[in-house]
Structure 1
Amino acid sequence: MSELNTIHAAFAAKVDAVLSALEAEGTLPAGVERRNVTVEPPRDPSHGDLATNAAMVLAKQAATNPRALAEKIVEHLERDPDITETAIAGPGFINLRLADRAWLGELEAIAALGEGYGRSQMGEGKRVNVEYVSANPTGPMHMGHCRGAVVGDALAALLEYAGHEVTREYYVNDAGGQVDTLARSAHLRYREALGEDIGAIPGGLYPGDYLKPVGEYLAQELGDRFKDAPEDEWLPIFRAEAVEKMMDVIRADLALLGIHHDLFSSEAALQAAGKPEQAEAWLREHGLVYDGVLEQPKGKVIEDWEPVELPLFRSTKFGDDQDRPIRKSDGKWTYFGADLAYHMQKAEEADALIDIWGADHAGTVKRIKAAVAALSEGQGKPIPFDVKLVQMVQLMRAGEPVKMSKRSGNFITIADMVEEVGKDVVRFTMLTRKPEAQMDFDFAKVVEASKDNPVFYVQYAHARIHSTLRKARAEGIEPSTEAIAQLGEEELGLIKQAAQFPRIVEAAAAAREPHRIAFFLYDLASAFHSFYNLGNDNPSKRVILAQDPALSAARLFLIDTIGQVIRNGLTLLGVEAVEEM
């Protein structure tokens, strides 16, 4: 949609036109830098509907003081019939109050744009790779993965909505010791499926019952030829088969949350293609990898420690606190070395990279950012790279921590959660806190029918709107714009709240913070409920007035458009906008 289809963008354009006029008349020098000029609601709504810092930002370039420039800007703005009041505040901020018709026009724009209201071309089609979840393929999705999965998925949707071309990627860690352990665990379940009494699961193997179906599948497909075969014969086969089956389980678990990735990249395939060697060669060529010896770990006494020469990445050049090995002493790639190559591969296909990681990976952020900064040099362009750290979720039931899962025996799975409270509750709740903040997920509280439960409160607003529309239609009243000029102060306040949505979308996308949409929806739902409840004490404030069908139709049009904005926001979060509760 055109950026001028929203009231805030339209008035930003009007301010820009005034600045162009001031350039033409010589008040401003030609070509002044306007990038930092903003037009947005003031912090205190009593100051007006919009405020601009234009005079503050441009006064120095105009060789004048901000208030003098503000007076020139106001002189032009006061000619606009959609601006009813201007005021210069403090050292030069300009506050504007808009005519009611401007807000009523925005209401009609919301209705006209429908699902497109809030969409933006801010991203200019730039390609963004969002990598999230990327759990080891050694078990079903559990709550340790859930929050990052939801945050990553909502962020990907937000960036698309804001005009980016987004790739949702899952990095499959299918090379390393944990995958060999998976293969050995699957082989044990395979023997069990063939009728062997395997007894207690040995220490060091994965004990979960989720591997029983994998063992049964392998027994059916392979027969008993690997039952007593030496490990070197079956390990590669069982590794590949077990990873494939576990990824099927993981995809199914994520689908329960409405999450689907565009791309699954294999670490094993990356290594087989020689990508780490290519990355190392390029880094050596540019003096960013050298052979050196790490210092002995500080604060630890390791009696058998010996200095070993390793290939080290010069991560200190990019802000890390020490250089990092990309290979182990046995020549195998370190996790960092493989990850470095993986990000080099991603950077070839994207204009920006975003990784969603658990907070326990905080120590890796500095070095991987250093690596991407280095590899950006090789691409000949800067690759913006952002790592979002997501804190773990503490599961609670009636205020007590939840530790055991009925299904897996040792952890709560995503399937457990979705089965108990539903996808929408899980997704919305995970976005009711900043991802870096600690979160409690109480099974009782998240299904409460109360204002204190954000997902209920927002969905109830949408359902309440549809219930009212159904009731009105049963009485022969349809939403209409014919009498919207009769809408009063309370209705205009609700419009102003809804009209924030496009700018919230852009701000949230720019900050990579999808939780801002959830916060906005809660505030909008709260404003709607407050408006709706006015009719409890004052019958003239009810949406449907039997004695005034024209005003009723206008109020129905208002709440119908509010419902559209709520629907648009919930869609961004991957949450259903229910019509009945």
Structure 2
Amino acid sequence: MTLYARFAAHIDAVLDSLVAAGDLPEGLERRNVTVEPPRDPSHGDLSTNAAMVLAKPAGTNPRALAEKIAAGLGAIDEVVSAEIAGPGFINLRLAESAWRGELQAIADAAGDYGRSDQGRGITVNIEYVSANPTGPMHMGHCRGAVVGDALASLLEYAGNTVIREYYVNDAGGQVDVLGRSAHVRYREALGEAVGEIPEGLYPGDYLVPVGQALAQEFGDTYVAAPEGEWLALFRTRAVAAMIVMIKDDLALLGIHHDLFSSEAELQAAGKPEAAEAELRSRDLVYDGVLERPKGQTVEDWEPVELPLFRSTQFGDDQDRPIRKSDGHWTYFGADLAYHYQKAQNADELIDIWGADHAGTVKRIQAAVAALTHGKTRFDVKLVQMVRLLRDGEPVKMSKRSGNFVTLADVVEEVGKDVVRFTMLTRKADAQMDFDFAKVVEASKDNPVFYVQYAHARIRSVNRKAAEAGIVCGAVDLSLLDAEDLAVVKLAAQFPRIVEAAALSREPHRVAFYLGDLAAAFHALWNLGNDRPERRFLLANDAPTTCARLFLANAIGQIIVNGLAIMGVAAVEEMQ
């Protein structure tokens, strides 16, 4: 059990004793009782709000309750003092042995340090990327892909069962355009001079191999054939080729989905009809007429009766049509059925969307609430676009596509780990600049470098110790002083960072924490620049060297664990 979990259990035990003594009523909700580091380190090592949270429902004064809780906590061997601050917060100072014990716990748990069981028994479906299958992945897709994948890893680390899903939008007009674009490349592969790709079709060279494959398979059978004879076939072949390309592009980032769900297959299986029937059976879909759009006159607008979902009953601005006037499904109608399908196999749903989809959040939230009777938690994480820069100037063109920057281009230039880490250095809904020069800069201002450098330093000092003939057996951690233990206190926060990040669905918190931990380690390392006795490697003092190596390796382990959540490898050395 980690230190914060142990003290949460201590607080629970003290509260139980107060209930047994009649000082607290039974059955008080303790979910909001926390144990965390105080904002000001001078106030102590740990702080709890237990008295503040429980006093009102217990019908007592917070400070009076805090005195009783503090008395119980002060009796714990690891606690040096328990002091009451303000109206009832309790600050604890711990014995140094508590931090040395946590350092040993980090070493013992190794790759499992920070893992949690808070999500045990809960299956979460995370849908991310889901770009239209009409071309290679570009940098407009990259940030959502990384955020979604890191969130999936984070939730798994916190104990959840996770389903990674990609929704293939292969039933809309864009795939008809793809099929027609493939037909042009097919004719080109057979020797026809097609000239400039017609307006409205996809011009990218990535469709050339698709056309060549079609030509090899079908010869000139469909060169002059009417569209009705080849469009469905070419569309299917082209989408399949695009999915292979998309999977290959995502693999460059280390991303692999468990499911690729097809919108076309969803509709062919009658899933939208099933969702509509379910909602009609509960009078949540009715046939009605939408209000006239604002700004349109009666002459510009014709009322049409459509099947409408009562999304206003679930917090939306207006009821939404699930079919068009021609009977085809609206985007919302298809998405409603898709989320209904996902909810059959998951307790919670998370969608990672581009910020330009913000307007559709309420209606899908309403649909999920209706279809699952409010039992399925559904979150949408909106991800802002990334602005690409080179030495401060916007990057607009790609050497391969001619009109967008491909993900493959960027990974090839700066590497998978740099791309993934950088995408997590800001909150997903905040604007981001990705400057090709800055993300590979060897500077403390570059968080990617700074965290990787901390791990590389740790591996380097281990190699140098081995070269110096220092062999560490049993390690005396009492040789670590207050300056060393200050870094341990930060390291011990990793498990609670993981749990908090998982609860909030914010994987960037792990990146922020690793930046802080790396900075603290570098600061401790740099003490040796002016004070030789503070160096990690002391040729004439093997016991102290071994104690500090033990500390360094524990910090390195947490960096490895945190980077693994982010999908980033910890480097052994840096050139």
| CA deviations over 1:248-300 (Å, ceiling 9, x no partner) | 00000000000000000000000000001111111111111111112222134
SS at match of 2:91: strand
Which of 186, 202, 205 aligns to 1:190? It is 186
Tell me how far apart the structure 2 counterparts of residues 301 and 458 of structure 1 sit (CA, whole Å). 60
| Structure 2 equivalent of residue 364 of structure 1 | 360
Q: How does 1:548-567 map to 2 (within 5 A)?
A: 548-567=541-560
Aligned to 2:46: 50
| Pair 295,554 (structure 1): closer, same or farther in 2 beyond 3 Å | same
Q: Equivalent residue of 2:389, what SS?
A: strand
Q: Which letter maps to 2:319?
A: D
* SS of 1:339 mapped into structure 2: helix
Are the counterparts in 1 of residues 71 and 82 from structure 2 also a CA contact under 8 Å?
no
Partner of 1:430: 423
The residue number in structure 2 matching 1:395 is: 388
Per the alignment, residue 86 of structure 1 pairs with 82
SS in 1 for 2:202: coil
Answer whether contact 1:326 1:337 (CA < 8 A) is retained: yes
Partner of 1:97: 93
Q: Which residue of 2 aligns with 1:329?
A: 325
Amino acid at match of 1:213: P
Match of 2:56, SS state, is coil
The separation in 2 between residues aligned to 1:35 and 1:490, in whole angstroms, is 34
Aligned partner letter, 1:527: A
Deviation at 1:480, TM superposition (A): 5.1
- The 5 Å alignment of 1:95-134 reads 95-134=91-130
Matched, 1:507 2:500: yes
Counterpart AA for 2:107: A
Deviation larger for 282-291 or 151-160: 282-291
**Counterpart Cα distance in 2 of 1:182 and 1:571:** 37
Residue number in structure 2 paired with 1:351: 347
How many aligned residue pairs are there? Answer: 574
Superposed displacement of residue 302, structure 1: 8.4
Pairwise CA distance, 1:490:
1.2
Instruction: Give the letter aligned to residue 11 of structure 1.
Output: F
Matching residue of 1:161: 157
In the alignment, does 2:172 pair up with 1:179?
A: no
2:514–2:562 contact (8 Å) kept in structure 1: yes
Q: How far apart, in 1, do the equivalents of 2:388 and 2:403 lie? A: 13
- Cα drift, residue 31 of structure 1: 3.2
The CA deviation at 1:301 is: 5.3
SS of residue matched to 1:547 = coil
Partner Cα distance (2:282, 2:57) in 1? 42
- Residue 168 of structure 1 and its aligned partner are, at CA, apart by 0.2
CA contact (8 A) 1:170 1:264 kept: yes
Instruction: Supply the distance in 2 between the matched residues of 1:221 and 1:493 (Cα, whole angstroms).
Output: 67
Partners of 2:419 and 2:314 in 1: CA distance:
38
Q: Which amino acid aligns with 2:399?
A: K
Whole-Å Cα distance in 1 between the matches of residues 295 and 491 of structure 2?
A: 56
Q: Which residue of 1 aligns with 2:452?
A: 459
Task: Point out 4+ residue stretches in structure 1 off by more than 6 angstroms.
Answer: none
Q: Which moved more, 1:272-281 or 1:33-42?
A: 33-42
| 2:521 counterpart of 1:528 | yes
Counterparts of 2:430 and 2:131 in 1: how far apart (Å)?
A: 21
**Partners in 2 of 1:479 and 1:534 — Cα distance?**
23
**Range with greater deviation from structure 2 (48-57 or 407-416):** 48-57
- Identity over aligned residues, as a percent? 73
Range with greater deviation from structure 2 (216-225 or 534-543): 216-225
Q: What whole-Å deviation, never above 9, does each CA across 1:292-317 have from its counterpart, x for those lacking one?
A: 11222213458543111111111111
Q: Aligned partner of 2:164: which letter?
A: R
1:215 aligns with 2:211: yes
Q: What are the within-5 Å matches in structure 2 for residues 169-568 of structure 1?
A: 169-300=165-296, 304-377=300-373, 382-479=375-472, 482-568=475-561
Structure 1 counterpart of 2:196, one-letter code: A
Bigger mean CA deviation after superposition, 272-281 or 29-38 = 29-38
Instruction: Please give the alpha-carbon distance, in whole angstroms, between the structure 1 residues aligned to 2:15 and 2:129.
Output: 47
TM-score by length of 1: 0.97
Q: How big is the alpha-carbon RMSD for the aligned residues of Structure 1 and Structure 2? A: 1.1
Matched, 1:30 2:23: no
Q: What is the alpha-carbon distance in structure 2 between the residues aligned to residue 481 and residue 421 of structure 1?
A: 42
Amino acid at match of 2:443: S
| Aligned partner letter, 2:434 | F
Partner of residue 64, structure 2: 68
SS at match of 2:352: strand
AA partner of residue 492 (structure 2): A
Deviations 1:360-393 (A, max 9, x none): 000000111011111012xxx6110000000001
The structural deviation recorded for 1:60 is 3.1
Report the CA distance between 1:53 and its aligned residue. 1.2
Residues 302 and 143 of structure 1, relative CA distance in 2, 3 Å threshold? farther
Tell me, yes or no, if the aligned pair for 2:514 and 2:559 is still in contact at 8 Å: yes
SS in 2 for 1:135: coil
Structure 1, unaligned stretches of length 5 or more?
A: none
Residue of structure 2 equivalent to 1:142:
138
Q: How many angstroms apart in 2 are the aligned matches of 1:481 and 1:155? A: 38
CA distance in 2, matches of 1:153, 1:454: 20
Distance 1:118 1:480 in 2: 26
- Say if 1:480 and 1:557, in contact at 8 Å, map to a contact too: no
What is the CA distance between 1:32 and its match in structure 2? 2.9
TM-score for both structures, normalised by structure 2: 0.98
**Local SS of the residue matching 1:60:** helix
**2:439 is aligned with what amino acid?**
V
Q: Which runs of 5+ in 2 are unaligned?
A: none
Bigger CA drift: 61-70 or 117-126?
Answer: 61-70
